[in-house]
Structures are given as structure tokens and as C-alpha cells.
Amino acid sequence: MENVKITSLDSFARGITKVKDKICFVSHALPLETCEIKITNEKKNYIEAEATKIIEESKYRIMPLCPYYESCGGCHIMHYDRQSELIFKEEKVNDLIHKFGKLDSVRIKDIIGGQDYFYRNKLTLHGNKNNIGLYKEKTNKLIRVKECLLCNEKINEIVDRLNKYFEKTSDNIDEIVIRITSLNETMLVIKGNVNESIKEAFSDINSIYINNNLVLGKESITEVINELFFEIYPNSFFQVNYEMMKIMYNKVIDYYKDHKDLNVLDLYCGTGTIGMLISKYCKSVVGVEVNSDAITSANRCMKRNNISNIKFHLGKVEDKIDMFSNIDSIVVDPPRAGLDKHTIDTILKLNPTSIIYISCDPATLARDLGVLKENYNIKEIQPIDMFPNTYHVENVCILERR
């Protein structure tokens, strides 16, 4: 044990200090705090530690509302007051964009924040025999929970019911995913040795799958955005924060309202949400997605919404991108790893007039912008707080050809 002074936060919301002449990352510590720490991991170039006692406390420290905060690990920054959390995220985007993208002249817009609790429309629970809960950070140790304060209240009602139900069974649960839409439609996706009698106890749920088999209700649940309907299947990707998702998508829609009649390529299109939302302003939209459930959903939704100027292709973006030509604009919403080299090279060959880059990782966004900036001006980077109480931050970036 030793006492240290925290100087700042890293991009994972860990306190930064020096121990043994090495940089030291301290979980749940805040800038300007003096902490007693316990070293948990020592590497050649850095040390990881946890704060065992806060000796001098930051005036921005608050008491986390969640009783599982210290043990669960799903949230990272619930001990920081809300305004400080937003400032941290805005500064994080600035630092990473300038450090890894070498984009010193690019101005980052003020972050858009929203509701900090009860915003998630999806929760994944893990199982151990008939117990369900969340995993302790970086372990498979199960933390039994009554509720998650980030999740929609209806999801938490279902968590409570599931806990009570499984206490009376000998089922062996591997995983349960709970989803809800703004139309209040619910889905349970259960994996493990679970008796189908669960459908009798949860007959009000719109869709229940057990081990990939539909045992109750309909195949998908329905979400609505800007008067368009979208179907969500068990493995479909859909943004977890409905209100922030609408803000983010409207940023993209606004761009295409002002730049009409373009041929748009929508990469990593998921269930085709963005493509359909912008379709009425575009000449054509082509979507590419690797998840077959998402493509099934996209094609059904296209028909349901009477949209005729979209085509969807199933496959990896890096395998499909060479198929296309005469593209005026590209939308990309890649996973955290960002864009691979082949995809970036092909985008540059396609030479679209604009690129809308949606990113859930500002570090890989910065890396990719560092390559694209040779051909494109970065007109705008808009941070959006899609994941309050965590260190994650979403960004919408608009690039226009030089």
C-alpha cells in the first residue's frame, strides 16, 4: 500500500499517477485526489492499481447510485458528477483525435448528452446453474443483480421476475438477453438447459427464443424511428440508447437533406436503419452487412416501409467493397476496430464526394481520419454520449472531398 496523487484520467477513465518511475493507472480515482492504492498488475512499462482509500477527495466525486458498482465493472465513471463526465468525454475525443489523427486544426463540437440512467434497451445476463447476473470485470465471477440502473425500467421488472422464477427451478442458464423497443415490445433470448415451461410464466413477452428456437410469440420485435418501422431479431445489432440514437441518426439525415440525389454506399449497415432513414433524400442506397439476421430484417423492413431504392448485400465489407462503382457518398459505422486497410484504400479509389463516419471508438476513428485527411476535409466531429456512466463515447464525423 502507498499513497499517490492523481494527475488526470486516461481514456478508460482510470486515474493516472507515477509509481516506481512507471505510469500507474488507478481504477475509480479522480484528478487531484490523493489515494491509498493497491497494485493489482505490474508490467514492464506500466502498473495497474485500485484505490483502497480516498485520502483527499475530489469535489466532483459523487456516491454511485448502483449497489453493484464496485464489483460489476459494467460502468466506469459513475463516481464522477454528470457534468464532469461529459467534460471528460469531450476532452477524450479532442485528445485522441489530435494525438492519433494529427488533426490539430479540427474543432470538436460540444458533446450532446442525455438521460444518464434507465436508457438501455438491451441487457445481457450470464448464468451459473439457476443463478443469473452480471460478470465481475475481467472475470467469469457472477454478480447476482436485482436491477441495472442503466436499463429501461421494464427490463428491470423482467430481471426481477426472472430471478424469482429461476429460484424455483433446476434449470442451468448460460445467458439471457432481454430487449425492449420504444413500442414496449419485449424479447427474451435464452441459452442453456432451460425448460420451455418458462413461456407460461412469461406469456406477456412478445418473443421468446430458447437455444435459437422460437418458443413463444413472433420472430422479431418492432422499433419505430421517424415513422419508419424496423424489425429486431435475436442477433440483430441495434443501438442500445434510443433517444441518443435518434439524435445521431438525425445528424446523418440532416446532411443528406442538404445533399440530395446521391448514390450512397452504407457499410456495416446492420438492419439498414440509416439507409432507410436517408433513402427518401437519395437517388439510391446500397447496404453491406455480415450478419444474416440483420440482412433478413433489413429486407423485410424495406418492404414494410415501401422503400424501393435500396439493395442489401450479405457479406464482410472488406470482401464486398470492390463490387461497387459510381458512389457519390459513403456512410460507415464500423465495429470498434475501425476500418481495415483494404476498405480505406477502396474508399479512396471510389473517391466519393463525402463520407459520414460513425464511430464508437475515437482512437480508431482518429487513426482512420489520419489516413483519409489527405483526400478529405474533416468538416465536423460531433461527440454524442450514447453510453452514460461508462467511458465510451460515440461520434459522427462528416468528411468532404478536397
**Domain 2-61 is classified in which CATH homologous superfamily?**
Nucleic acid-binding proteins (2.40.50.140)
Confidence of residue 378 (pLDDT cuts 50, 70, 90): very high
Q: What would the grid cell of residue 184 be?
A: 414496449
Fold of 122-223: OB fold (Dihydrolipoamide Acetyltransferase, E2P) (2.40.50)
Give the pLDDT confidence of 148-171 residue by residue, as tens digits.
Answer: 999 999 999 999 999 999 999 999
- pLDDT reported for residue 138: 77
pLDDT value at 104 more than 80: no
Sign, CA torsion 189/190/191/196: negative
DSSP 354-383: EEEEEES-HHHHHHHHHHHTTTEEEEEEEE
Confidence of residue 102 (pLDDT cuts 50, 70, 90): confident
pLDDT value at 1 more than 80: no
- pLDDT reported for residue 107: 82
Q: Same CATH fold, 122-223 and 2-61?
A: yes
Average pLDDT of the segment spanning 141-150: 94
What does the alpha-carbon distance between residue 37 and residue 122 come to, in Å, rounded to a whole number?
A: 35
CA-closest candidate to residue 8, choices 24, 32, 39, 28: 32
- pLDDT reported for residue 139: 84
Confidence of residue 260 (pLDDT cuts 50, 70, 90): very high
For the chain, the domains span 2-61, 87-115+239-401, 122-223
Confidence of residue 106 (pLDDT cuts 50, 70, 90): confident
As a whole number, the mean pLDDT across the chain is 94
Q: Return the higher-pLDDT residue of 293 and 66.
A: 66
Residues with catalytic annotation?
A: 360
What global pTM score does this model have?
0.93
What does the alpha-carbon distance between residue 179 and residue 344 come to, in Å, rounded to a whole number?
A: 34
Say if CB 382 and CB 109 are below 8 A apart.
Answer: yes
Give the pLDDT confidence of 86-95 residue by residue, as tens digits.
Answer: 999 999 999 9
Percent of the chain with pLDDT over 90: 90
- Give burial (CB, 10 Å; 0-12/13-18/19+) of 212: exposed
Fold of 87-115+239-401: Rossmann fold (3.40.50)
pLDDT value at 137 more than 90: no
φ/ψ of residue 222, rounded to 5: -110, 135
- pLDDT reported for residue 237: 85
Give the pLDDT confidence of 111-135 residue by residue, as tens digits.
Answer: 999 999 999 999 999 999 999 999 9
Confidence of residue 244 (pLDDT cuts 50, 70, 90): very high
Average pLDDT of the segment spanning 285-291: 94
- pLDDT reported for residue 261: 93
What does the alpha-carbon distance between residue 296 and residue 306 come to, in Å, rounded to a whole number?
A: 16
